[in-house]
Amino acid sequence: MSKTDTTAPGLGFDLLSFLARYGTILSLIALIVFFSFMRPEVFATTRNMLNVLNQVSILGIIAIGLTVCLVIGQFDLSIGALATFGGYMAARFLMEIGPANGTPMVVAGVVLLVLGMAVIIGIINGALVSYLGISAIVETLAMSFIVTGAILGISRSRTISPVEIPDAFKIIGQGSIAGIPNPVLILIATAIILWLFLEHTQPGRNMYAIGGNKEASRLSGIPVKRYALVAMGICAACAALGGMVAAANLGAGRPQGVGDVYLLNAFVAVFIGASTLRPGKFHVLGTAVGVLMIGVINNGLSVMGVPSFWQFIVQGVLLILALISASMMTLRR
């Protein structure tokens, strides 16, 4: 009786596919190992790891919101202005109420009010883009100018000082629970909520379907235009939330420049994440990896005393490599 050959074809190891899916994660691990080896007394400590997470928490909140927008194939260049808007408006409302009256309940109410205002701006973005067919890049860029101008007009370019803001608000950015900074906890909560929304709800699956093929989604009965309002509303809310965390961390309400530093890095993090696990697809877990990579690079190069301009060069190289990886997988498919 002859032996049967059990070797199945097509089970060989596909190195290119493996690197496309896990290369970004392997790169992150390699960076952590490298910096830990170079500066073990500084980098490879629990305190510094929490510091890395705290440093990228605001960026992460904004980038995860941007992920939802990119999932349906839209862009939002107003997130920088909306982050500044969120931080300043929360500080301004609390200043008007008075620091002595800024109880935790009042602060929570102000936070919800500012988030609601940001959602309305995001819905306006979505309506103009989806119902009028305006380019998302141009429309959201114009909205960023409008929001920036409005803030400067309301504030008269005056920064709200720490003494004008209640401590209950500052705790959002400066406090901690069980040794974990509050901004990190807010980042984790935001990531979990939006991951569950995108991966485990029907609206989230519909958004992925729209991003994959808008016309096919429309023909299948999905209200494509309506989902643009939802996605851009979520994106705007996350940007404003990140801005409020930044304002609470600074202990001041600045009317300009707060969100600008996060705009490009948010896009870098999301596009790096699009080459992780699901090449060419935007998703929350991938964005989290991209955010961590940016944080590790910035912190590691800083503790090694490397000039800051190298941070931008390394981030740019990693983004190009991530895009090449995703493009190669797309071409193969």
DSSP string, 125-138: HHHHHHTS---HHH
Mark 264-274 as b/e (b = at least 16 C-beta within 10 Å).
Answer: ebbbbbbbbbb
Tokens of 273: 């994440």
Tokens of 137: 């890049």
Instruction: Give yes or no for a contact between 129 and 139, defined as CB atoms under 8 angstroms apart.
Output: yes
- CATH at residue 201: 1.10.3470
Taking only the tens place, the pLDDT of each residue in 282-298 is: 999 999 999 999 999 98
Q: What is the pLDDT of residue 332?
A: 59
Tokens of 308: 């800051």
Q: What is the pLDDT of residue 280?
A: 77
Q: Is residue 59 part of a domain?
A: yes
Q: What is the pLDDT of residue 325?
A: 67
Q: Is residue 159 part of a domain?
A: yes
Q: What is the pLDDT of residue 276?
A: 82
Domain count within the chain: 1
CA proximity to 152, closest of 70, 59, 85: 85
Q: Is residue 7 part of a domain?
A: no
d(CA 55, CA 295): 7
Q: What is the pLDDT of residue 18?
A: 77
What's the gap between Cα 234 and its chain centre? 11
Q: Measured at the alpha carbon of residue 148, what is the angle toward residues 232 and 253, in degrees to the nearest 5?
A: 100
**Domain span at 73:** 21-332
Q: Is residue 248 part of a domain?
A: yes
What's the gap between Cα 100 and its chain centre? 33
Q: Is residue 313 part of a domain?
A: yes
Q: What is the pLDDT of residue 333?
A: 55
Q: Is residue 10 part of a domain?
A: no
The residue ranges of the chain whose pLDDT is under 70 are: 1-13, 325-333
Q: What is the pLDDT of residue 2?
A: 47
Q: What is the pLDDT of residue 7?
A: 44
Q: Is residue 2 part of a domain?
A: no
Tokens of 331: 């071409």
Taking only the tens place, the pLDDT of each residue in 186-219 is: 999 999 999 999 999 999 999 999 998 998 998 9
Q: Is residue 11 part of a domain?
A: no
d(CA 234, CA 326): 26
